[in-house]
Amino acid sequence: MKYDIIVAGGGMSGVAAAVAAGRQGKRVLLVEQSGMLGGLGTSGLMTMVMTSRKWFYGIGREILETLRDRGEARWIDDYPVKDYERIPFDAESMKRRLDEIVAESGAEMLLYTKIIGVKKDGACISALQLNGPTGNFWVEADVFIDSTGDGMLSFYAGEDFDLGDENGNTQAPTMTAYYAGIDFDRYEAFLKTFEDGPAIPKVNMIRALVPKAVEDGVLSVCDLHHPGIFRISPCFNVGVMNAGHIYGADCLTPEGLTRATVAGRKMAKEYLDFYRRYVPGFEKAYMTNTCSYLGLRETRRIRGKYMTTFADKAAYRKFPDAIMRFDGGAVSDVHASSADKKAYEAYYQLFTAARATVREDDWAELPYRSLVPMKTKNLLIAGRCLSADRQVQGQLRIMGYCFMMGQAAGTAAGIAIDSGKMPPDIDVGALQQQLRKDGVEI
Ligand SMILES: Cc1cc2nc3c(=O)[nH]c(=O)nc-3n(C[C@H](O)[C@H](O)[C@H](O)COP(=O)(O)OP(=O)(O)OC[C@H]3O[C@@H](n4cnc5c(N)ncnc54)[C@H](O)[C@@H]3O)c2cc1C
């Protein structure tokens, strides 16, 4: 079987890539190992898109606006920082919407199908080896897009990558969970009692309650970094809980990932006990499920023709081959690799106080070259495995940006097919023109 383009991984970046390429009339196959599209946004239970307030365009926006119009997502403007926007969505509606938009684009998809290897012909990938319910088989294509989050396809193709800080420490993963039966009115009233502290009420609450819960033996780790509960719908008392860092996890080996997953499930129960015991409104909360795909914040960052850096973001740097805008300034969201209080304070400083560096009407730019890996000529990368230093990856990994990277990669792949060129050699002006035509502001 031969396709024009194969997109590896059906998270938000992969869906946007497949849709962009499908809409250009290309023969596209989207391959996803799980039973649903959406990646960390659905099987990872992170059912709240975070994105730039100003620089969020294209297929991702279209998906969320359709959900909003159907009453299945809503824009929230109450985030205590001016550059971010939050869009909680209904997980089941998102899964159906992603199925729908991929089908409408003409792209084909295979769920329950895992990429397990590649065949190379010189510096090009010629085929992918897949494993599905019928066993192993091969599919061929001219251009490939790695949107596996972990950079699996690039890894199989022999690309170099970076992992974590200079000691290999990565941002800790989290086992997110859904709680039902929360009395949000009482929770919000309780939060108000923490308004007088040095930080936002939720952070003040955590700083007050977590050490006590450790003393009482309810929590086993004194982890002050705790994003907390996010309500999914204004009508239902359901929230997604983002709490509990699995420090020291090694998520690139089967043993490490298994250990982290088991530890995460145990931790999720500890946090349920914590909320039930100390936080009014949670007495009758019920944990309906934990995520089926462990919340990995950071694994492989594939080395591309250009490694986007935090310095570029801080300086609002512009590039001639820009494919998207994102929020500039010296703000980052790199979760610590240990529960050490100093590490948390350093995180908090970069996530909050540094916001003074945010300019209202300016933006940073992501160059196309950060989606083009160093070695393999017919491969593009999109999503959280992009070519970036870890500090800027901490910001670019949010779903709003993953959608936009995916759209750029899918569009570039289509242009490569039409022009008979390899992705590194395409006319970037034509790519920018097509993206603008498709609603992306560059
Ligand atoms: C705990 C946590 C909280 C977060 N909170 C938010 C938030 O509130 N808002 C926000 O916008 N972002 C948040 N993020 C970040 C965001 O969810 C992710 O970075 C983003 O969804 C990544 O999208 P992606 O498409 O790059 O990869 P992923 O979502 O990881 O998707 C990759 C897909 O590829 C598939 N895949 C992998 N390997 C293979 C293979 N070999 N064969 C076939 N398929 C494969 C996977 O099954 C998966 O579906 C959070 C992340 C975490 C971990």
Percent of the chain exceeding pLDDT 90 equals: 86
pLDDT at position 353 is 65
Expressed in angstroms and rounded, the spacing between residue 402 Cα and the centre of ligand 1 is 9
**Does the beta carbon of 268 sit less than 6 angstroms from any atom of ligand 1?**
no
**Per residue in 88-98, pLDDT tens?**
999 999 999 99
Nearest partner of 300 among 168, 130, 392, judged by Cα: 168
Ligand 1 pocket test: which of 399, 405, 407 has the largest number of ligand atoms within 8 Å of its C-beta?
399
**Does the beta carbon of 88 sit less than 6 angstroms from any atom of ligand 1?**
no
**Does the beta carbon of 18 sit less than 6 angstroms from any atom of ligand 1?**
no
Expressed in angstroms and rounded, the spacing between residue 147 Cα and the centre of ligand 1 is 9
Q: pLDDT grade, residue 200 (50/70/90)?
A: confident
3-state secondary structure of 139: strand
pTM exceeds 0.95 for this model: yes
Expressed in angstroms and rounded, the spacing between residue 149 Cα and the centre of ligand 1 is 6
d(CA 263, CA 240): 19
Q: Assign residue 131 a region (left: φ > 0; alpha: ψ between -120 and 50; beta: otherwise).
A: beta
Q: Assign residue 371 a region (left: φ > 0; alpha: ψ between -120 and 50; beta: otherwise).
A: alpha
pLDDT at position 275 is 98
Expressed in angstroms and rounded, the spacing between residue 139 Cα and the centre of ligand 1 is 24
pLDDT at position 334 is 86
DSSP letter assigned to residue 154:
H
3-state secondary structure of 238: coil
DSSP letter assigned to residue 174:
B
**Does the beta carbon of 46 sit less than 6 angstroms from any atom of ligand 1?**
yes
Question: In degrees rounded to 5, what are phi and psi of residue 85?
Answer: -130, 150
- State the average pLDDT over residues 426-432: 98
- Does position 287 have pLDDT exceeding 80, yes or no? yes
Structure tokens at 441: 């502001």
Q: pLDDT grade, residue 288 (50/70/90)?
A: very high
**Per residue in 162-192, pLDDT tens?**
999 999 899 999 999 999 999 999 999 999 9
| pLDDT higher at 349 or 322 | 322
Tokens 């596996």 identify what position? 148
- State the average pLDDT over residues 389-411: 97
**Per residue in 47-66, pLDDT tens?**
999 999 889 999 999 999 99
Ligand 1 pocket test: which of 30, 31, 40, 241 has the largest number of ligand atoms within 8 Å of its C-beta?
40
* Domains along the sequence of the chain with CATH: 2-166+299-334+364-437 (3.50.50.60), 177-290 (no CATH)
pLDDT at position 442 is 92
**Does the beta carbon of 115 sit less than 6 angstroms from any atom of ligand 1?**
yes
**Per residue in 345-390, pLDDT tens?**
887 777 776 677 778 889 999 999 999 999 999 999 999 999 999 9
Expressed in angstroms and rounded, the spacing between residue 16 Cα and the centre of ligand 1 is 13
**Per residue in 11-31, pLDDT tens?**
999 999 999 999 999 999 999
pLDDT at position 360 is 80
Tokens 């926007």 identify what position? 85
Expressed in angstroms and rounded, the spacing between residue 233 Cα and the centre of ligand 1 is 22
User: Which residue is closest in CA terms to ligand 1's atom 5?
Assistant: 46
Nearest partner of 126 among 144, 114, 110, judged by Cα: 144
pLDDT at position 343 is 81
pLDDT at position 77 is 75
d(CA 326, CA 230): 24
Task: Look at 226-240, 246-260, 405-419 and tell me which has the smallest mean pLDDT.
Answer: 226-240
Helix (H) or strand (E) holding 191: helix 184-192
The atom of ligand 1 lying closest to the CA of 13 is 25
- Does position 135 have pLDDT exceeding 90, yes or no? yes
Tokens 């914590």 identify what position? 274
- How many Cβ atoms are within 10 Å of 121's Cβ, its own excluded? 9
Contact between residue 305 and residue 156 where contact means Cβ atoms under 8 Å apart: no
d(CA 387, CA 428): 18
